[in-house]
């Protein structure tokens, strides 16, 4: 036999737990109407539990009658507060309507007063060895109407809200409903089924405990609405179950030695359990924070893209105008100009084109990476695309007195399926790099069919060359090679974009280079049979 | 839209030289208007200028136009909307259009191409001379 008075202990724990949860919620946000109502509900529930216990344990006609009346008195408010709580949950601010203020609450009050009179229970019959037997009076009907309709209305509201809500809010209502169902389930089984079918009312004094599920789940829904996470809830449920089991063992101990030992286990489990839950909460919180940060980063990235896109577009307009004026003067649209001026303008044109390429690269890089770029794939002659690029760089190469040649063997197969504009960008990036880094000697564009079915373009220069170490990093984003003079050029995007584009067109690209001897940048594309 | 067209017909801006092809340039940047007009006239075209989309559409459906050079980011009516309405018009639906814009690579480009433009040129990649070469492909 257990050495403790189980009835009283269970009730004490239930009442203490209910009140503590009520006050925790209240103090966590004193201004919230939901939290205030919850506190009221827990207080009334605790008092109801106590009155209920007493009513079954007192064998005195006067106090017996008083205690059963008190049970009903608190029950009225319990039902009323349950309705109001479901009505406003989980709002913090709420103004009750006139209907509630001037009709519902007064009705509750009147009925509650009636419950204290003999109109509810006329008397309590007390016999030796049998639980006290209260005799209901007509007032009971009034109580039943008010209490039952309040509870049913509350339940309907709860189910409606549950259906119409989503996500976390929905989980909150699920918790509330779960609590309500468990509460009613217990009451139905122990207060009704057991007393009527099995004629066993030994559980009725423990009714206070049956309030626990609802109080607990509502507490959870209010306090943890940001933490309604399966992982956390799972951990908490398992931990609480273990703790309850361990506590039951303490309670069911048959000797003080056992109580001592099992209490030790219980406390250890309690501590470990709390630590475990906390660590899980921390982990989940961190993950949520990471997701939030990630979202913010994505937004920022999008903003950056939009900014780059806008800025590049704005840069292009003046560049177009400069190119337009200069090209027209060079082409003689404004009449003859001195040779020296023509050379200068040709230089200006080359420099402007460099700027245009820079803007193009800036615009392209993120779009290519994200696959947002639109390619205009068509079958085209690679020779023609390269010729155009070759001509556009001639001035720049001549200025540096470089041997700048395009070598195309007879009968070259050059039909490829690419986006012609993009393939010109690829060649431009190779050639502009070669010219930029080569101070004297040659820059040659050499085309060939290394094996049938493939066309290769090599840009061979006699520049400073690139060390093996640098070669491996050259096609990376933002990597900028150092020239012999220690200067770096450009944005570090050109070769990276080249690589992305060539891969997109089903080709390969690469680099052969030796320091002090020069470099050979190349790419290879599959040849398409002409239709 | 009928009213717009009416208004445009009343103020015919073009002193047309017979025998020359007419190019409608829809462009809002005054510098670029100056450059392209100059180059096109040197090349022997009649040039009709519209500085916003609405005006451009009016000219396109009310004047004899052989080819349209169309900027996309323009006031009042965007180049895309202009294309949509132009293609619905009996007179405007067959006029060749070359998009001449600094927008590129975006979804807009795909959309614009889907309205049957002859070519899509990124302005900063082309000199006026090169633009004329492209025009000549479609206006022999």
Worst-scoring range by mean pLDDT, A264-268, A374-378, A399-403, B6-10?
Answer: B6-10
Per the CB < 8 Å rule, is B105 touching A323? no
Q: Which residue has the tokens 């349209």?
A: B68
Question: Do residue B106 and residue A309 have CB atoms under 8 angstroms apart?
Answer: yes
Residue B42 at interface with chain A, using a CB cutoff of 8 Å = yes
Of all residues in chain A, the one with the smallest CA distance to B103 is: A313
CA distance A38 to A408: 87
Closest CA to A321 of B128, B24, B32: B32
Give the bridge partners for B23, in sequence order. B47, B67
- pLDDT at site B15: 55
**Three-state SS for A299?**
helix
What total of structural domains would you count in chain A? Answer: 2
Q: Do A356 and B32 touch (CB under 8 A)?
A: no
Asked if A316 and B39 come within 8 Å (Cβ–Cβ), the reply is no
Question: Which residues of chain A make contact with B109, given a CB cutoff of 8 A?
Answer: 374
What is the pLDDT, as a whole number, of residue A491? 60
Query: Do residues B50 and B82 touch, judged by C-beta distance below 8 A?
Result: no
- In this complex, is the C-beta atom of B107 within 8 Å of any C-beta atom belonging to chain A? yes
Q: What is the pLDDT of residues A175-231, one digit of tens each?
A: 888 888 888 888 778 877 777 777 777 777 777 778 788 787 877 777 766 555 667
Whether A53 and A208 have beta carbons less than 8 Å apart is answered as yes
Q: Do A374 and B32 touch (CB under 8 A)?
A: no
Cβ-defined contact of A325 to B35 (cutoff 8 Å) = yes
The total number of structural domains in chain B stands at 1
Q: Which residues of B touch A318 (CB under 8 A)?
A: 31
- Give the confidence band of B26 by pLDDT, cuts at 50, 70, 90: very high
What CATH number is given to the structural domain containing A14? 1.20.1070.10
Q: Mind telling me how many Å the CA of A501 is from chain B's nearest CA?
A: 13
* Percentage of chain A exceeding pLDDT 70: 93
- Residue that terminates a domain, selected from A204, A227, A250: A227
* B67-70/B97-101 β-pairing: parallel
Residue B109: closest CA among chain A residues belongs to which residue? A374
Residue of B nearest to A316 (CA): B124
Whether B105 and A313 lie within 8 Å, measured CB to CB: no
- Would you call A377 an interface residue with chain B, using a CB distance cutoff of 8 Å? no
The last residue of one of the domains, among A203, A227, A251, is: A227
Cα torsion A222, A224, A225, A228: sign: negative
Q: Which residues of A touch B102 (CB under 8 A)?
A: 313, 316-317, 320
Cβ pair B122:A316 closer than 8 A: yes
Please name the member of A309, A323, A331 whose beta carbon is closest to the beta carbon of B124: A323
Q: How far apart are CA B103 and CA A142, in angstroms?
A: 77
Chain B partners within 8 Å of A316 (Cβ): 102, 122-124
How many Cα atoms are found within 13 Å in the side-chain-facing hemisphere of A233?
A: 15
Concatenate the DSSP letters of all residues of B75-135 into one string. Answer: SSS-HHHHHHHHHHSTTTTTS-EEEEES--SSHHHHHHHHTT-SEEEEGGG--HHHHHHHH
Q: Smallest CA–CA separation between B2 and chain A, in Å? A: 33
pLDDT band at B16 (very low <50, low <70, confident <90, very high): low
pLDDT at site A224: 64
Residue B36: what pLDDT?
A: 92
- Is A374 close to B109, i.e. CB distance below 8 A? yes
* DSSP conformation class of A125: E
- d(CA A391, CA A427) in angstroms, rounded, equals 12
Rounded to an integer, what distance in angstroms lies between the CA atom of residue A369 and that of residue A419? 16
Q: In angstroms, rounded to a whole number, what is the distance separating the alpha carbons of residues B21 and B65?
A: 8
Task: Return the residue in B38, B105, B106, B110 with the most chain A beta carbons within 10 A, the one to mutate for interface testing.
Answer: B105
**DSSP character at residue A485:** T
| Residue at a domain's end among A194, A227, A260 | A227
Exposed e or buried b per residue across A354-363, where buried means at least 16 C-beta atoms within 10 angstroms of its C-beta: bbbbbbbbbb
The answer to whether A416 touches A526, Cβ cutoff 8 Å, is: yes
pLDDT tens column, A67-118: 888 888 998 998 899 899 888 887 888 888 888 888 889 998 998 888 888 8
How far is the C-alpha of A28 from the C-alpha of A24, rounded, in Å?
6
Segments forming the whole domain that contains residue A446: 374-526
Sequence-distant (6+) residues with CB within 8 A of B38 are: A328, A333, B128
pLDDT recorded at residue B4:
46
Chain A with chain B: Cβ pairs closer than 8 A:
71
ipTM of the complex: 0.82
CATH number, domain of B68, equals 3.40.50.2300
**pLDDT tens sequence across A232-274:** 777 777 888 888 888 888 888 888 888 888 889 889 988 998 8
Local structure of A453: helix, strand or coil: coil
Of B32, B42, B105, Cβ closest to residue A373: B105
Q: Which A-chain residues 333-372 have CB contacts (< 8 A) with chain B?
A: 333, 356, 359-360, 363-364, 367, 372
In a domain, A101, yes or no: yes
Q: How far is CA A58 from CA A120, A130, A225, A443, in A?
A: 19, 11, 42, 109
pLDDT at B12 exceeding the cut of 70? no
* CA angle at A468 for the pair A466 and A472, rounded to the nearest 5°: 95
- List pLDDT tens digits, range A323-341: 999 999 988 888 888 988 8
Contact B39/A at CB under 8 A: yes
Q: Indicate the range of A126-140, A155-169, A460-474, A504-518 predicted with least confidence.
A: A126-140
Largest CA distance in chain A: 131
**How confident is the model over A19-78, as pLDDT tens digits?**
888 887 787 778 888 889 988 988 998 898 888 888 877 777 778 888 888 888 998 998
Question: Does residue A181 belong to any structural domain of this protein?
Answer: yes
**Per-residue pLDDT for A486 more than 70?**
no
Identify which of A434, A439, A515 has the alpha carbon closest to the alpha carbon of residue A471. Answer: A515
Mean pLDDT of the A476-484 span: 60
Name the pLDDT band for A129 (thresholds 50, 70, 90): low
B10, pLDDT greater than 70: no
Tens of pLDDT, residue by residue over B68-82, are 999 988 888 888 888
Structure confidence at residue B49 (pLDDT): 92
Supply the angle between the helices A167-186 and A139-164 in degrees, to the nearest 10: 150
Which of A302, A309, A320 is the mutation pick for testing B, counting most B CBs within 10 A?
A: A320
Give the pLDDT score at A93: 84
A139-143, A187-191, A393-397, B39-43: which range is least confident on average?
A: A187-191
From the centroid of its chain, how far is CA A85? Answer: 30
Query: In which domain, by residue range, is B22 found?
Result: 2-138
The verdict on residue A207 lying in a domain is: yes
Residue A278 is assigned to a structural domain of this protein: no
Q: Which two tokens stand for residue A209?
A: 């405990």
Instruction: Write the residue in A327, A328, A374 that is nearest to B105 by C-beta.
Output: A374
In the DSSP assignment, the letter for residue A204 is: G
B12 C-beta neighbours (distance < 10 Å), count = 12
């Amino acid at each position: 036999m257990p050495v403790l008075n189980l009835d009283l202990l269970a009730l004490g724990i239930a009442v203490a737990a209910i009140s503590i949860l009520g006050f925790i919620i209240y103090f966590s946000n004193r201004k919230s109407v939901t939290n205030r109502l919850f506190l009221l509900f827990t207080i009334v529930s605790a008092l109801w539990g106590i009155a209920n216990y007493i009513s079954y344990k007192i064998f005195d006609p006067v106090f017996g009658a008083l205690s059963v009346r008190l049970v009903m008195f608190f029950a009225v408010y319990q039902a009323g507060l349950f309705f109001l709580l479901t009505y406003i949950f989980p709002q913090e601010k709420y103004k009750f309507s006139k209907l509630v203020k001037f009709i519902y609450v007064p009705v509750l009050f009147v009925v509650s007063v009636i419950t204290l009179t003999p109109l509810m229970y006329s008397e309590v019959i007390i016999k030796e060895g049998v639980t006290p037997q209260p005799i209901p009076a007509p007032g009971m009907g009034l109580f039943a109407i008010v209490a039952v309709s309040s509870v049913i209305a509350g339940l309907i509201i709860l189910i409606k809200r549950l259906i119409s809500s989503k996500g976390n809010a929905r989980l909150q209502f699920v918790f509330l409903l779960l609590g309500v169902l468990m509460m009613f389930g217990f009451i139905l089984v122990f207060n009704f089924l057991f007393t009527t079918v099995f004629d066993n009312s030994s559980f009725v004094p423990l009714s206070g405990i049956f309030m626990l599920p609802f109080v607990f789940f509502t507490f959870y829904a209010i306090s943890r609405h940001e933490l309604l996470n399966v992982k956390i809830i799972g951990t908490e449920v398992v931990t609480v179950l273990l703790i309850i089991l361990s506590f039951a063992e303490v309670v069911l101990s048959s000797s003080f030695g056992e109580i001592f030992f099992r209490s030790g286990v219980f406390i250890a489990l309690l501590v470990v359990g709390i630590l475990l839950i906390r660590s899980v909460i921390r982990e989940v919180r961190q993950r949520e924070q990471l997701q939030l940060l990630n979202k913010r980063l994505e937004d920022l990235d999008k903003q950056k893209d939009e900014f780059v896109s806008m800025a590049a577009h704005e840069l292009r307009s003046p560049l177009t105008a400069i190119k337009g004026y200069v090209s027209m003067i060079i082409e003689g649209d404004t009449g003859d100009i001195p040779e020296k001026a023509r050379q200068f303008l040709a230089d200006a044109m080359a420099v402007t084109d460099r700027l245009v390429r820079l803007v193009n690269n800036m615009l392209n890089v993120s779009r290519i990476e994200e696959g947002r770029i639109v390619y205009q794939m068509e079958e085209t002659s690679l020779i023609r695309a390269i010729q155009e690029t070759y001509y556009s760089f001639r001035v720049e190469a001549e200025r540096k007195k470089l041997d700048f040649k395009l070598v195309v063997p007879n009968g070259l197969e050059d039909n490829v399926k690419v986006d012609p504009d993009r393939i010109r960008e690829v060649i431009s990036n190779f050639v502009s790099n070669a010219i930029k880094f080569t101070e004297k000697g040659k820059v040659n564009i050499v085309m060939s069919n290394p094996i049938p079915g493939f066309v290769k373009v090599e840009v061979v220069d006699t520049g400073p060359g690139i060390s093996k170490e640098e070669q491996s990093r050259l096609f990376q984003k933002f990597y900028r090679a150092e020239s012999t003079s220690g200067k770096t050029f450009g944005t570090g995007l050109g070769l990276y974009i080249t690589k992305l584009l060539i891969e997109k067109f089903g080709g390969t690209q690469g680099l052969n280079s030796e320091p002090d001897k020069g470099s050979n940048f190349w790419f290879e594309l599959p040849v398409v049979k002409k239709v | 839209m009928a009213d717009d067209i009416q208004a445009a017909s009343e103020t015919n801006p073009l002193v047309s030289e017979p025998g020359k092809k007419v190019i409608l340039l829809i462009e809002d940047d005054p510098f670029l208007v100056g450059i392209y007009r100059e180059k096109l006239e040197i090349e022997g075209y009649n040039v009709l200028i519209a500085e916003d989309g609405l005006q451009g559409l009016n000219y396109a459906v009310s004047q004899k136009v052989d080819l349209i050079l169309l900027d996309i980011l323009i006031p009042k009516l965007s180049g895309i909307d202009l294309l949509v309405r132009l293609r619905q018009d009996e007179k405007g639906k067959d006029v060749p259009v070359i998009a001449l814009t600094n927008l590129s690579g975006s979804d807009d480009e795909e959309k614009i191409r889907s309205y049957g433009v002859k070519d899509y040129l990124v302005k900063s990649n082309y000199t006026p001379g090169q633009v004329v070469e492209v025009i000549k492909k479609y206006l022999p």
